[in-house]
Amino acid sequence: MGFARSLPREGFGRSARLQASSSIDWAIAEGIADPKRVAICGASYGGYAAFVGATFTPDTFCCSVPVVGITDLETMMANPPPYWASYYEQECLRVGDPRTEEGLALLRARSPLHRVDRISKPMLIGHGANDVRCKIAEAEQIVSAMIERSIPVTYVVFPDEGHGFAHPANNIAFNAIAEAFLAVHLGGRCETIGQDFENSSHEVRLGGRISGQCGRAESGGIARSVMPQSSAASNPRCASMSSTVFDGGAQHEARSNRDPPDRRKRH
């Protein structure tokens, strides 16, 4: 009888690693994937899985793209959204109870935030400022921890989004950023940004600026960039990526790529 009760708790977090590992092993064995060029990306629980991949198995992936992902199960369970009230006790049994010593130990053991020192590969984080399911504090706390340790990170926030990027313009913009990011670190092709940032609310708050034909979305904060210009220049398949290169190195004034809502230009 105890099996059904303990399996979810034992599997939460561990299952993310096992699923990713088995999929990668299969793809490599089939000759589909290059073991040196595997990225992990995902949103919501998939975002948590991407954080887990970057912190628990950092040598497996060449980069990661977690979106609206959990970084600390303890803070998530200690500050649940109001709509969890009807099934919060069930979640405590399934994931871990922050009100008990055993539960806290379980939550911390599966939290990427507590393994931030192990992050060694480029990371692009995306989050919606109005997320109530996985609050933006989840992203902010791991970004802060990475800054303290001088670990490079690119951090993109959408002020008008929640748990995911529902507005088509925002979804297109983040996909364009992610495509450029992945093209540099996986060595693949990438289209120029063109009008992909039009009417998007995205703010590149950390990690470098996107420059060239796409306009400019500068970041502030840490003085290290995860996508130095030399990286793209050395990649012949990214020779046309001058419009999407994440460069930088100097501190920049944080700003959005568009005017504030009351002064926004309509196209």
Task: Dump pLDDT digits (tens) for 35-70.
Answer: 999 999 999 999 999 999 999 999 999 999 999 999
Domains delineated in the chain: 34-72+111-263 (3.40.50.1820)
Of 249, 121, 248, whose CA–CA distance to 185 is shortest? 121
Q: What is the set of active-site residues?
A: 44, 131, 163
- Over residues 228-249, mean pLDDT: 33
pLDDT attached to residue 20: 75
Which residue reads 């405590």 in tokens? 92
Residues 6+ apart with CB under 8 A from 173: 196, 197, 200, 202
pLDDT at 17 over 80: no
Query: What are the distances in angstroms from CA 244 to CA 54, 133, 222?
Result: 24, 31, 20
Of 220, 240, 226, whose CA–CA distance to 178 is shortest? 226
Helix 45-56 crosses helix 14-29 at what angle (to 10 degrees)? 80
Q: What is the pTM of this model?
A: 0.77
pLDDT at 251 over 50: no
End-to-end CA distance of the chain: 62
Task: Dump pLDDT digits (tens) for 167-193.
Answer: 999 999 999 999 999 998 998 888 888
Separation CA 234–CA 21 (nearest Å): 30
